Structure 1
Amino acid sequence: MINVHEYYDKMADVSDATRQAIESLELARKNIQEALIAINGVRKQGDATISFVSNVTTNDVHRNLLFLELLLNQTFGLVQSSVFRELLELTNYNSGGEEEF
């Protein structure tokens, strides 16, 4: 059986990893939004392949970005749910200042 200090150290690790994961989700959403803006500008010129090496078209890229955006929105919706927030509060152990997810 682990002692109390090890338990709180593990909870601090979980809390920190969760915070980093949420920040990564937010960054991914931002990057996908920027990529969608860029690909929409290219798509106005028509559906063309994006390189000479590949058969991937701008419409394919746009569709894949929309899928990723949908997936991230669903994941982020879970992160914002009250049940997930309650779980975060259980694992949120801070030895320093206040941090809010």
Structure 2
Amino acid sequence: MNNIHEYYDDMADISVSTREAIESLELAKQKIQEALRTINAYKNQGDTIISFVSNVTTNDVHRHLLFLELLLNQTFGVTDTLIFQELLKLADYSVNEEEF
């Protein structure tokens, strides 16, 4: 980094990217919960093959969705820790155009 402006630009980029990543995780979690509700409706009909192209069944899809939900919950568990929150605050840099 050649100067302080590059440093703050990099910190602003990190802050924005982190915020976008957390928002994407939240959206993914919502989509997985919607998919779980949908697949549960199909599971009531038994373990049926979903696609004519492959042998994927409703139980396979349900198992994979539960695994993804578990991974997302673990990720959110990390984001809720005090250390991670402190790291977010360090990278949280708001760009104020009036200062420049």
TM range (shorter): over 0.9
Corresponding position of 1:2: 2
The secondary structure found in structure 1 opposite 2:45 is: coil
Note the residue ranges of structure 2 that are not aligned, 5 or more in a row. none
Corresponding position of 2:72: 72
Aligned residues: 96
Output one character per residue of 1:29-66: Cα deviation in whole Å (capped at 9) or x when no partner: 00000000000000000000101111010000000000
The secondary structure found in structure 2 opposite 1:75 is: helix
Identity across the alignment (%): 67
The secondary structure found in structure 1 opposite 2:51 is: coil
Corresponding position of 1:58: 58
Note the residue ranges of structure 1 that are not aligned, 5 or more in a row. 97-101
Distance in 1, Cα, partners of 2:60 & 2:86:
39
Corresponding position of 2:90: 90
Corresponding position of 1:99: none
Corresponding position of 2:17: 17
Root-mean-square deviation (CA), in Å? 0.8
